[in-house]
Structure 1
Amino acid sequence: MSTPPSVLVIDDEPRSVEVMARILREEFDVHVASGAAEARGILEANWIQAIFCDQRMPGLTGVQFLSEVRDRWPDIVRMIVTGYTEPDDMIDAINAAGIYQYITKPWHPDQLLLAARNATHLFAMQRDHERLSLELRLAPPAAEGRLVRQRERVRGSYHFESIIRTPTSPLNETCRQAAKAAAFDIPVLIQGETGTGKELMARALHYASQRDTGAFVAVNCGAIPDELLESELFGHRKGAFTGAHANRRGLVEEADGGTLFLDEIGDISAAFQVKLLRFLQEGEFRALGTNETTRVDVRVLAATHRDLREEVRAGRFREDLYFRLSAMVLTIPPLRDRPDDVRVLANHLLDAACLRHGRHVRGFTPDTMAALIRHDWPGNVRELQNEVLRMLVLAEQDALGVELLSPGLRATGDGDGARHGVGPMDSIPHTGPLQQRMDVLEAQILMETIVRCGWNKSLTARELGLSRVGLRAKLDRYGIVPNAGQRTIQ
C-alpha cells in the first residue's frame, strides 16, 4: 500500500490544530506544530508536501514563516489559514511567500480536504516536471537520434518511389515532373479526379523539398463551411464571434516553416478567394478579432478535382488566384487510364489490409483480377481500396474469388455492359448465395435498360417503375456509370 502524502499544520491554538489534524488524517500523514521553531524541526526531519499555516502566531507571522519556507524548501505547497482577508495583505502574502491558497475561517471540512488534495497533487506534478526536465537535459543525443529515425521513416513512407505504379504507367511522367518541382520553393497545383491520390503526391513533394523538417499541414477546403474556413486557416481571438471562447492558432501559423496543403481549392467561395489571394501575395494575415498582422513562411500546395482553367473562364475562380497557386501544375491521371497499375495497386492494398487486420490470403484469382482490371473505377484508388477491403472481410478461402466482388463488378463478359462491370444475361453465376446471384441479375437489367434508353435516367426510371431517387441509389450501389465522354440525361 502506498504511503499517503504528508502535510504540516501550524497553529498556536491547540483546539484548532486538533480539529484540522483529525479531518486531514482521513487521507494524509499529518504533522502538527504550535509555532515556527517546532515547524522547522519537522520540516528538517520529514518529507512534507503541503503546509497549512495560521497567519496570526506569536513571533513570526504565517506569511513571514512561509517566506522562509519558500527559500529553504521551495517545492512545498504553502497555504495560509486566516480570518482576515484584506486585499492588500493577500497580495503581499502572494508576492512574499508564494502562497498557493488562502483558506478563510470558518472553513468547512470538505474545503480543507479539497485544498489538501489539490496541494499534494500540485506537489507531485512539480516533481514529475523536474524529473522529466532532468531526463531531457541528460538525454538530448538519444532524443535527437529517435527524432531523426522517426523523420526518416516518415520520409520513406512519402516519396515518389512509394507511389505504386508500373514502369509503363502514365503516372511516371507526373512523378518525374513532381520530383523536379520539389526542389524549388514554388506553389504547385495538383489536379486529378477524387480518389487519385492528390494528397499523397503533395506529401511526397513536401518530404522531397528543403522544408521536409517542417510541418505538413493539410486542410480540406471543400469540407469546411466558408464562414468557418477563415477561422480554421488564420485563427481567431477570444470573443471574435459567437462560440469563440478562447484564442486559437490557425493552420497557416501551424505550418510556418513547412508546407500548407489546400485540398479541393476549387470549392472555395468568391469571397474567400479574395482573402486567400491577399495572404498569398503578402505572406501575412490577421486572425479574426484582431488588427495585428502575423507574417509566416509557408510553401503552399493546392489540389482540386475541378478544371480550374475552365472555372476561370466561367468566372467562378479568380484568374489572379489561379496564377498564384499554379507556378507548376501536376495532373494525376485517373485509374481508368492506368489499367496496368490496377494489378500492382490491388496486390499492394491487399497486403496492407492483411497486415493491418491480421488476415492472410494468397491473393486474387485470375477471374477476379481480370474483373478488377476491366472496371472503370470512377472512385479511383479510393474505390479500389474499399473493394479490396470488402473482399478481405468476406473472404473464407485463401484466395479472393469473383463471388466476393461487389455486384457491379462481379459479372464478366464483353460489350458495353462489361465496360461498366456488368455483363450479359448469360453471365449470372451458377453457384453462390441466392441474394448475390439476384444482385448480379438486377445490375444487368439496370445496365441493359439505361444503355438502351441512352443514359436518360428519367426514361429508365419510368420503364423500370422506379423513382429517380431509387434509380440513382441502385446505380450508385452497383457502380454503374457512363463511359468517359458519354452525356447523362437526368
Structure 2
Amino acid sequence: MSNILIVEDEDVIRTALKKLLERNDYQVSIAGSVDQALEQFRLDDFDLVISDLRLPGREGTDLIELAGQTPVLIMTSYASMRSAIEAMKQGAVDYIAKPFDHEEMLQSIAAILSQSAAAQQPAPAPNTPAADDSSPGDESDELSAGQMLGRSQPMLELFSRIRKVARTDATVLIQGESGTGKELAAHSIHQQSQRHDAPMISVNCAAIPETLIESELFGHEKGAFTGAVNTHRGLIEAANGGTLFLDEIGELPLEAQARLLRVLQEGEIRRVGSVQPMQVDIRLIAATHRDLKALTRTGKFREDLFYRLYIMEIAMPPLRDRGEDIIELANKFLLKACARMGCAAMQLSPQTRQAMLAYQWPGNVRELENAIERAVILNETDQITPELLGLDPQYSARQTEQSATEAYRSPSVSHEKPVGEPFMDSDSSTQSAALSLEDYFQRFVLDNQDQMTETELAKRLGISRKTLWERRQKLGIPRKPK
C-alpha cells in the first residue's frame, strides 16, 4: 500500500482529499504546513507528497528539495500558470489545478507512483527484453509518462469503462484513431489491475519487420535460422505474469496471428526452432486504428482471432469530440513545454482557444502536443496566437460561429425573448459573428442569473454546475448577490 502525505492548510480540501485517497486503498498522513510536516514526519518515509503551493509560512515548493527522492505533486489554482511552471522548474513531478477532478487526481497519483516504482527497479540484464525495449507505440512519450486528462462526458465514460475492465483478466481490444491515447489507456488498465506489480510489455506490430515478428514475439532457439547465434527469449515470455500490449495488431502477419491465437486458447508458446511448448500467463491488450471486422472479410485478419480479441472493447474518443478537454490538454502541454525549454510562462490567447475548439484535430492528442511545442519554439511573447500552431486550414471549419451560437439556443422558437434565449435580437446577425463563445457565455449568464438558479443555468448551457463555476472563475463573472 502506497504511503502519501498531504500538506494543505484548508481543512475542507485536506479532509476531502484524505477520504478520497483512503477509499482507493492509499495510506494517508496530513499536515497543515511545511513546518508541521517536517516536525511530525520523515519525508523519505512516503511514496508521494501532495502539497498546496500557497501555505502559511513556507511555500509548498520548499518540500521539493526537502523531500529528496520522494516525488512532490503541487496543487495550484486554475489560473496560476506562472506559478505552476516555476514549480515544475524546481523539480515538482507534476502539478494539478484546483478545484481538481477526483478522476484526474487518482490518475495522476497512479501514474506518478508507477513511474517512481519503475525508476527504482534495477536495469534489466542485457538479453532480457524490457517494456521500453519495444518500438515506440501509438502515443507520445510525454503523454505516456503522465496521465489521461479529461472532464468531458466521453472521457468520463472511458474512465468508467477502464475501471470495470481492469478488475477482470479478460482480453481487451482498444480501438480509436491514431493519436487518441490507446497505449495510455492500456497502461491505465494494467496499473489498475491485479497484475500491476508485474511487467507490461509494449510491442508495435507495425514497427517490426514481418520476417522478425515471430522471433521477437515468441523467441527462438540457437541455430533456428541463419543469424540465430543465441537462444532468444521472446516478448510474450518476458510478459509472463503481466500484461502484453500489442499496438497496431491489424498489421500482424497471418502466420503470427495463428500462433497468437494458440497463446490465447492454450496459454502456451513455442519458440521458433523448438519442439517443446512453454506455459505462459499473460493478459493481452490489443489496439488498432483499423477496422478489424472489415479485415476479416477480406482475409487479412483471422476471424477466430478477432472474436478472441473482442471479449472487451474500449473505444477511444477523438479529440474533436472532447470539447473543453482540448484547452485543458493544451494548457498541460504548454506548461510542460515551457518548463522543458526554460521559457517564461505563456498563455493561450482567446483567439487561439477559439481556433482550437473549432479545429478537427485529425492527428488528435499527438497533433495537439506537437502544435503546442511548435508554438512555444516560435513564440516571442507571452501569448500563443493561432498562426503559431500551424494548423491545417482544411480542418479548421468544423464549427462556425453560427453553430456555436446554436449550441446555447433554447430549442423553442418564439418572437419574444424567453429566459435562456441567447443574448441577441433577431436582427443582430452582424453582432453574432463578432462575438466569441466566451462572450456568449458571459452575456448569457449575466442576462439570466437573476431569473435562474445555478442548476438551471448549467442545464440550459448544457454543462455541469462544476463547469459553470469554473468558467465563472475563469471569466471573472460574479454570482448574483443573495
**TM-score normalised by L of structure 2:** 0.52
Give the direction of change, closer, same or farther, for the CA distance of 1:199–1:175 in structure 2 (3 Å limit): same
Alpha-carbon displacement from aligned partner over 1:415-469 (angstroms, at most 9, x marks no partner):
x87416999xxxxxxxxxxxxxxxxxxxxxxxxxxxxxxxxxxxxxxxxxxxxxx
1:355, distance to aligned residue in structure 2 (A)? 2.4
1:326, distance to aligned residue in structure 2 (A)? 2.0
Match of 1:164 in 2: 149
| Number of residue pairs matched by the alignment | 273
Matched to 1:245, the amino acid is V
Contact 1:226 1:272 in 2 (8 A): no
Contact 1:361 1:397 in 2 (8 A): no
Give the direction of change, closer, same or farther, for the CA distance of 1:194–1:311 in structure 2 (3 Å limit): same
Q: Does 1:391 align with 2:369?
A: no
Match of 1:419 in 2: 397
More helix per residue: 1
Q: Secondary structure at the match of 1:226?
A: coil
Q: Secondary structure at the match of 1:170?
A: helix
Contact 1:197 1:381 in 2 (8 A): yes
Contact 2:371 2:391 in 1 (8 A): no
Aligned counterpart for 2:270 among listed residues 279, 286, 291: 286
Q: CA RMSD in A?
A: 3.1
Whole-Å separation in 2 of the counterparts to 1:300 and 1:180: 16
Q: Secondary structure at the match of 1:320?
A: helix
Query: Which runs of structure 2 are paired with 1:36-435 in the superposition (5 Å)?
Result: 153-155=112-114, 162-166=147-151, 168-406=152-390, 408=392, 418-419=396-397
Q: Secondary structure at the match of 1:162?
A: coil
Whole-Å separation in 2 of the counterparts to 1:250 and 1:272: 13
Match of 1:33 in 2: none
Whole-Å separation in 2 of the counterparts to 1:191 and 1:417: 23
1:362, distance to aligned residue in structure 2 (A)? 2.7
Q: Single out whichever of 179-188 and 338-347 deviates more from structure 2.
A: 338-347
Alpha-carbon displacement from aligned partner over 1:88-115 (angstroms, at most 9, x marks no partner):
xxxxxxxxxxxxxxxxxxxxxxxxxxxx
Whole-Å separation in 1 of the counterparts to 2:260 and 2:317: 28
Contact 1:182 1:209 in 2 (8 A): yes
Contact 1:408 1:422 in 2 (8 A): no
Contact 1:192 1:332 in 2 (8 A): yes
Give the direction of change, closer, same or farther, for the CA distance of 1:342–1:279 in structure 2 (3 Å limit): same
Contact 1:198 1:332 in 2 (8 A): yes
1:388, distance to aligned residue in structure 2 (A)? 0.5
Give the direction of change, closer, same or farther, for the CA distance of 1:331–1:350 in structure 2 (3 Å limit): same
Whole-Å separation in 2 of the counterparts to 1:219 and 1:246: 22
Task: Considering Cα pairs closer than 8 Å and 6+ residues apart, tell me whether 1 or 2 has the greater RCO.
Answer: 2
Give the direction of change, closer, same or farther, for the CA distance of 1:364–1:209 in structure 2 (3 Å limit): same
Q: Secondary structure at the match of 2:196?
A: coil
Give the direction of change, closer, same or farther, for the CA distance of 1:402–1:300 in structure 2 (3 Å limit): same
Consecutive unaligned residues of structure 1, counting only runs of 5 or more, are 1-142, 410-415, 424-490
Which structure's CA Rg is the greater one? 1
1:385, distance to aligned residue in structure 2 (A)? 0.7
**TM-score normalised by L of structure 1:** 0.52
Q: Secondary structure at the match of 1:333?
A: coil
Whole-Å separation in 1 of the counterparts to 2:312 and 2:164: 10
Q: Secondary structure at the match of 1:389?
A: helix
Whole-Å separation in 2 of the counterparts to 1:259 and 1:366: 43
Whole-Å separation in 2 of the counterparts to 1:152 and 1:366: 31
Consecutive unaligned residues of structure 2, counting only runs of 5 or more, are 1-43, 49-68, 72-109, 117-142, 402-482
Whole-Å separation in 2 of the counterparts to 1:385 and 1:180: 29
Whole-Å separation in 2 of the counterparts to 1:295 and 1:277: 14
